[in-house]
């Protein structure tokens, strides 16, 4: 994770070198008698990416919200980013942060004790805990966190919610400045769903949550590194599906009937970025997954070319 410290430093430096948004005036490429700013290749490429995103979403059958953040420059692309969506298993990321925060403070209580699986704790979609021996196997809290993120094990998630407390997760989010990201029920709690209780957030808040994690604003350095390591472990997510295998992605996807979502940090060397996408009511759920994959791929390809080029457009010698 040495790269993490380097990337933080370049992010701060880059914010002063590049604008944080499009300047007022005529669109890039439009003649102007009194130009307000001199466009550069970076800003032109960012506009091209914005146009590409707009075209992909305009032709999609469903409701899409997204936020893309270039962690080096601070530039953002947003669409319906303040729309509230159910986020399915993506809520497990703030649960991960809350548990690590409690462990760091030494106030975790039951979190400090090993967990011995119980048959009554099992719920569907629990690929790891359902295969362990009740009353015999012993798991640490970090084991449960890794299982929860990498396999999205719902039983492990519910055990962690019971141990840390639902209210504690929401208090952690409030203290960090997130007013619309909420844990309201355990996994597969049908009674809570029938009462209208969903785990929710917005693309903007989820993107900002990962951005703050990457900048070390939510946890101490050791726990920040640990959170990113867990989130970067191999999983079946949508962000990384169309990216080269060597590119690390720290993320937590989620899916429900009629909903697909994924948020994470694509750890592109020298140009990491956060992408948060939620897709509701798609005509076909597989098309929603492919849209998230395509949005991630477009950002990766554009930003990776910028990292390989000089300010004048040729590849670095």
The superfamily CATH assigns to domain 1-18+38-83+202-312 is DD-peptidase/beta-lactamase superfamily (3.40.710.10)
* Percent of the residues in the chain that have a pLDDT greater than 90, as a whole number: 78
- Contact criterion met (CB below 8 Å) for 281 and 258: yes
Q: Rounded to an integer, what is the distance from CA 182 to the centroid of its chain?
A: 15
Q: What is the pLDDT of residue 42?
A: 87
Q: Among 4-18, 101-115, 270-284, where is mean pLDDT lowest?
A: 4-18
Q: How far apart are CA 296 and CA 16, in angstroms?
A: 25
Q: Is the pLDDT of residue 265 over 60?
A: yes
Q: How far apart are CA 114 and CA 112, in angstroms?
A: 7
In terms of Cβ atoms closer than 10 Å to its own Cβ (0-12, 13-18, 19+), residue 22 is: middle
Query: Confidence band (pLDDT; 50, 70, 90) for 235?
Result: confident
Q: What is the pLDDT of residue 29?
A: 41
CA distances in angstroms from 60 to 56, 143, 290, 291, 300, listed in the order given:
7, 39, 11, 8, 21
Query: Confidence band (pLDDT; 50, 70, 90) for 255?
Result: very high
Q: What is the dihedral of CA 238, 293, 94, 129, to 10 degrees?
A: 0
Name the more confident of 26 and 311: 311
Task: Note the pLDDT tens digit of each residue in 70-97.
Answer: 999 899 999 999 999 999 999 999 999 9
Q: What is the pLDDT of residue 153?
A: 97
- Contact criterion met (CB below 8 Å) for 183 and 91: yes
Q: Where are the domains of the chain?
A: 1-18+38-83+202-312, 92-178
CA distances in angstroms from 99 to 68, 142, 233, listed in the order given:
27, 9, 18
Q: What is the pLDDT of residue 256?
A: 96
Task: Note the pLDDT tens digit of each residue in 143-198.
Answer: 999 999 999 999 999 999 999 999 999 999 999 999 999 999 999 999 999 999 99
Query: Confidence band (pLDDT; 50, 70, 90) for 38?
Result: low
Q: Is the pLDDT of residue 5 over 70?
A: no
Q: Is the pLDDT of residue 21 over 70?
A: no
Q: What is the pLDDT of residue 41?
A: 85
Strands 249-251 and 254-256: unpaired
């Amino acid at each position: 994770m040495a790269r993490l410290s380097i990337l933080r430093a370049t992010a701060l430096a880059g914010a002063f070198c590049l604008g944080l948004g499009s300047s007022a005036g005529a669109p890039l490429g439009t003649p102007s008698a009194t130009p307000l700013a001199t466009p550069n290749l970076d800003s032109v490429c960012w506009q091209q990416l914005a146009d590409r995103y707009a075209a992909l979403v305009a032709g999609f059958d469903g409701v899409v919200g997204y936020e893309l953040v270039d962690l080096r420059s601070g530039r953002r692309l947003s669409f319906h980013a303040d729309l509230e969506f159910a986020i399915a298993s993506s809520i497990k990321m703030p649960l991960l942060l809350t548990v690590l925060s409690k462990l760091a403070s030494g106030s975790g209580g039951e979190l400090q004790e090993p967990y011995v699986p119980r048959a009554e704790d099992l719920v569907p979609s629990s690929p790891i805990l359902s295969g362990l021996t009740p009353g015999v196997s012993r798991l640490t809290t970090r084991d449960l966190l890794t299982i929860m993120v990498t396999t999205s094990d719902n039983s492990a998630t519910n055990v962690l919610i019971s141990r840390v407390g639902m209210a504690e997760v929401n208090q952690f989010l409030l203290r960090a400045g997130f007013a619309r990201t909420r844990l309201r029920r355990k996994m597969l709690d049908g009674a809570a769903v029938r009462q209208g209780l969903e785990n929710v957030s917005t693309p903007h808040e989820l993107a900002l949550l990962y951005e703050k994690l990457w900048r070390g604003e939510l946890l101490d350095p050791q726990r920040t590194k640990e959170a990113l390591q867990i989130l970067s472990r191999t999983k079946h997510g949508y962000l990384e599906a169309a990216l080269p295998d060597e590119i690390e992605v720290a993320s937590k996807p989620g899916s429900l009937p009629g909903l697909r979502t994924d948020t994470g940090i694509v750890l592109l060397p020298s140009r990491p970025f956060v992408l948060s996408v939620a897709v509701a009511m798609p005509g076909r759920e597989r098309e929603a997954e492919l849209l998230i994959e395509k949005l991630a791929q477009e950002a990766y390809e554009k930003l990776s070319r910028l990292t390989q080029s000089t300010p004048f457009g040729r590849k670095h010698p």
